[in-house]
Amino acid sequence: MSSIDSLRRGRALALKLAAAMAFLAPLVTRLVMGQAFYQTGTGKIANFANTVSFFTDLGIPFPEANAFFVSRLEFWGGLLLVVGLATRLVAAGLASTMVVALATADRATFLDALRGAGEGGLTDVTPFVYLLFLGWLVLFGPGAASVDALLVRWLERPSRPPVVAAAQQQPA
């Protein structure tokens, strides 16, 4: 066997292994992001007055309404990400909160990182990293190990005619 054949077989084996483990990337992303947002949502709910005050200081309009919405989105959205239900919709909603965070609370750090002027880079700006992961979930979906995938399989299963209709069609 030539070395080229060995390389081809090795490549084919590596691709099969990667395909078999492909479910892990969206699963781990959902679990990590879901847990992170569940925790921040829990903190915002438990310290609601502080959240409203923080949103007010940032100049976010309707701070009480937005604090209520964001805290519940993070809490319930985190739980939904963990199980993989409504993943794309939830990830899009959470991504929008990261855009707001980048435009308000983390604006200076984000702009410094973009210019290369600060001590850290873009990967040190947490809302930016979260935005990347959430965008990936929006574009590529929840993966095979999710409630979303189970629902799709259930909805796309072939429909069977009722037993009564099948019995009536058979000749007597």
Q: How many domains does the chain have?
A: 1
Distance CA 1, CA 88 (A): 47
CA angle 97, 102, 104 (to 5 degrees): 90
Q: Residue 159 carries which DSSP code?
A: P
Structure confidence at residue 169 (pLDDT): 61
The DSSP code for 142 is S
pLDDT at 147: 98
pLDDT reported for residue 123? 96
How far is Cα 74 from Cα 64, in angstroms, rounded to an integer?
15
Pair 80, 34: CB distance under 8 Å = yes
- pTM: predicted TM-score of the whole model, two decimal places: 0.87
Which parts of the chain sit beneath pLDDT 70? 161-172
**What is the predicted pLDDT for the residue at 160?**
72
Long-range contacts of 90-93 (CB under 8 A, 24+ apart): 91/33, 91/134, 91/135, 91/137, 91/138, 92/134, 92/138
Write the single-letter amino acid at 153.
R
Domain housing 93: 3-169
